[in-house]
Structure 1
């Protein structure tokens, strides 16, 4: 049940539609074999103001927040799979990063209200 947060520099909107970033991350998460499609939650956030080393360098950063307890090898493989999927767009002068973070099972609360 990962929460996938895709942050990116807004100047990339001209190159890749925001929905494509989300779809790419979702497909990579599903290809990992760790998650069911119904469990993957995605959000995208463009940043109008950004700097790296004093310059406006394009970036895409994906944070995958998942419940604790998985082996580090599995998390490392997931991060690498998402990173490789992002590079399919063949953009230049862009920095891609992926981070897998754990949400503590003991303190995570969830409630779904259906109609």
Structure 2
């Protein structure tokens, strides 16, 4: 675990985002030390509307990361995880971009998985 889902403007490089989110998740020390349980995927969007426009910008870029983790972590751990991921994305120093991160609990009792 976790499942890290990055939704973003297509003008932003998916590979750079995947690398940053993976590294930040590993840095949090909440998951396996070798990163074997971290899964990251990116969904670039070409068609979207943001609610905020910067002066002189046609469209405000965006990055939104959803971190789905198994339930059981406390609020401080989840806040630290979201802050670590957000800080790593800020290193991109993007102009006219909204960056957000959310942590979502997956119910351990109903989660099912198989690896073949």
In the alignment, what sits opposite 2:9?
9
| Structure 2: runs of 5+ lacking an equivalent | 54-58
Moved over 6 A (4+): none
1:54 Cα deviation after fit: 7.1
Q: Distance in 2 between matches of 1:74 and 1:43?
A: 22
Q: Distance in 2 between matches of 1:26 and 1:108?
A: 22
* Equivalent runs, 1:64-103 vs 2, <5 Å: 64-103=67-106
Residue 33 (structure 2) pairs with residue 30 (structure 1)? no
Q: Distance in 2 between matches of 1:81 and 1:11?
A: 23
Secondary structure of the 1:105 match is coil
Q: Distance in 1 between matches of 2:72 and 2:114?
A: 21
1:11 Cα deviation after fit: 2.2
* Structure 1 residues 71 and 18: CA distance shift in structure 2, 3 A: same
Secondary structure of the 1:50 match is coil
Q: Distance in 1 between matches of 2:98 and 2:52?
A: 15
Q: Distance in 1 between matches of 2:52 and 2:30?
A: 38
Q: How many residues align?
A: 109
Cα shift readout 1:44-100 (whole Å, capped 9, x = no counterpart): 000111111275320000000000111010000000000000011111110000000
Secondary structure of the 2:103 match is strand
